[in-house]
Chains A and B, each alone.
Chain A
Amino acid sequence: MTFAAFPYAQPLEGLAGGILIGLAAAMMLLGAGRIAGVSGITARATGLNRGDMAMTSAWGFLVGLPLGAMAIAVTTDWKAAEFAPWPVLVVAGLIVGFGTRMGSGCTSGHGVCGVSRLSQRSMLATATFIAAGIVTVALVNLFGGTS
Chain B
Amino acid sequence: MNLIRKLLPPLASGALFGAGLTISGMTDPVRVRGFLDVFGRWDPTLVFVMGGAVMVMAIAWRIQARMKTPMFGEKFSLPDRRDFDGRLIAGSALFGIGWGIAGLCPGPAVASLALSPLSVLPFLVAMLAGMAVHNLLPEPGLRRQGAL
**Interface positions of A (Cβ within 8 A of B):** 3, 6, 8-36, 38-39, 42-43, 46, 48-49, 52-54, 56-58, 60-73, 76, 78, 80-84, 86-104, 106-108, 110-117, 119-121, 124-126, 128-138, 140-141, 146
A12 to chain B, nearest CB (A): 8
B93 to chain A, nearest CB (A): 4
Most chain A beta-carbon contacts within 10 A, residue among B3, B76, B131: B131
Cβ contacts under 8 Å, A33 to chain B: 69-70, 73-78
A-B contact count (CB 8 A): 515
The answer to whether the Cβ of B143 comes within 8 Å of any Cβ in the partner chain is no
Q: Do A69 and B48 touch (CB < 8 A)?
A: no
Main SS class of interface, B? helix
Q: Do B114 and A73 touch (CB < 8 A)?
A: yes
The answer to whether the Cβ of B1 comes within 8 Å of any Cβ in the partner chain is no
B residues 59-104 near A (Cβ < 8 Å) are: 59-61, 63-64, 67, 69-79, 81-84, 87-104
* Chain B: interface size category: 35 or more
Chosen A-B contacts, 8 in total, with CB atoms closer than 8 Å, are A14-B49, A14-B52, A38-B110, A68-B20, A76-B23, A124-B89, A128-B96, A138-B38
Q: Do A94 and B53 touch (CB < 8 A)?
A: no
> Known contacts being A18-B51, A36-B17, is A60 close to B7, with CB within 8 Å?
yes
Cβ contacts under 8 Å, B59 to chain A: 26
Q: Do B53 and A3 touch (CB < 8 A)?
A: no
Cβ contacts under 8 Å, A35 to chain B: 78-79
Cβ contacts under 8 Å, B147 to chain A: none
Q: Which residue of A lies closest to B9 (CB)?
A: A31
Measured in the bound complex, the distance between the Cα atoms of B124 and A89 in whole Å is 9
> Known contacts being A18-B49, A61-B10, A108-B107, is A81 close to B116, with CB within 8 Å?
yes
Q: Which residue of A lies closest to B34 (CB)?
A: A8
Q: Do B18 and A68 touch (CB < 8 A)?
A: yes
